[in-house]
Amino acid sequence: MKTREIVIITGLSGSGKSSAAAALEDCGYYCVDNMPVALLPEFFKTPVITLASIKGVAFVMDIREIDFLNKFPSIFDSLIKNGFILKIIYLEANDQVLMKRYSQTRRYHPLSGEKTLIDAILAERELLTPLRKWADILIDTSELTIHELKSKITTIVLQKGLEEKMKISIVSFGYKNGLPQNADLVIDVRFLNNPFFIPDLKPKSGRDADVRHYVTNNSEARIFLKKYLELLDYLIPLYINEGKSYLTVAVGCTGGRHRSVAIADIIYEHIDRQYQRVFITHRDIDRDDDLLIAGS
């Protein structure tokens, strides 16, 4: 973890700060919500920052802390002078959107007191004017969905493509053993040529070259692979942009030993050339009863 980098998420109440923090947590950041700003320097003396699994640290700070606006300038200045790099992300939205969000969630605005909601929103906007000037990045969330906000935060903070965030799993399986529980996309390849009925191929698996050749070396298999890989090429970027963290593509045949294994390997090889976090599992390839099933 780069312990000298700090992300500060701040801004207007109701602007999406919690969603921004959730996006960073999904990316491996250690996030702290509403920690007193005076304790910020002390945090970097804790063992947490030495964990190799942590990609960075982020803090949500706003007017919920009474002394935040008075204390943050001197503390931020002190951290910068001591070599820390602060990336301050300020979220905001227009008054109408903020009022609608509070109406939907039925939460109280931190400055409500005896004020009306609109008065509290206007008062906070004025109070945060000095903090807004500190911001490295301003994001108006008025027209953003939660998924769009998370995508924007991830891109800004990680400074890399969102494809490095989503984990893609390819799983081969046998229908006789049930569908994988976490499958998002399922394709049935039981229409392909079946090596089970070829004596020399029956004891082998889809990972053997001659089995793979038998399954795929025909016009039906070639047309299917072309169309299905094109479909995945179209769908995966849409899932990434939607903010999906995990995508599981399941490929099934009868027993999960021959056809599904061969096709899953081809899909994996195709996707692995384009994306960072791609994994493959052959769930049923070594099950003891596979060879006893007619049509594996």
Ramachandran class of 149: left when φ > 0, alpha when ψ lies in -120 to 50, beta otherwise: alpha
Per residue in 207-253, pLDDT tens?
999 999 999 999 999 999 999 999 999 999 888 877 677 899 999 99
Q: Are 188 and 232 contacting, i.e. CB atoms less than 8 angstroms apart?
A: no
pLDDT value of position 50:
67
How far is residue 279's CA from residue 248's CA, in Å, rounded to a whole number? 9
What backbone phi and psi angles, to 5 degrees, belong to 276?
Answer: -85, -45
Separation of alpha carbons 19 and 22, rounded Å? 5
Q: Is the distance from CB of 138 to CB of 93 less than 8 angstroms? A: no
Joined together, the tokens standing for residue 231 give 């479909």
Q: pTM, whole model, 2 decimals? A: 0.58
Residue located via tokens 């960072």: 276
Q: List phi, psi (to 5°) of 283.
A: -60, -40
pLDDT in tens, 132-159: 999 989 999 999 888 888 888 887 877 6
Amino acid at 145: T
Domain 5-160 sits in CATH at 3.40.50.300
pLDDT at 160: 53
Q: Are 277 and 164 in contact (CB under 8 A)?
A: yes
Pairing of strands 5-11, 85-92: parallel
Q: How far apart are CA 183 and CA 177, in angstroms?
A: 14
Q: How many CB atoms lie within 10 A of CB 208?
A: 16
Tokens for 161?
Answer: 């493509």
The token pair that represents 251 in the structure block? 């490929």
As a dihedral over the C-alpha atoms of residue 191, residue 264, residue 225, residue 178, rounded to 10 degrees, the angle is 40
Instruction: Yes or no: say if 33 and 18 are a contact pair by the CB < 8 Å rule.
Output: yes
Strand order in the sheet with 167-174: 185-188, 246-253, 167-174, 278-282
Q: Map out the domains of the chain as residue ranges.
A: 5-160, 164-292
Of all helices (H) and strands (E), which one includes residue 144? none
Antiparallel, parallel or unpaired: β 5-11 and 56-60: parallel
pLDDT beneath 50: ranges in the chain: 1, 161, 290-296
5: number of CA atoms within 13 Å, CB side? 11
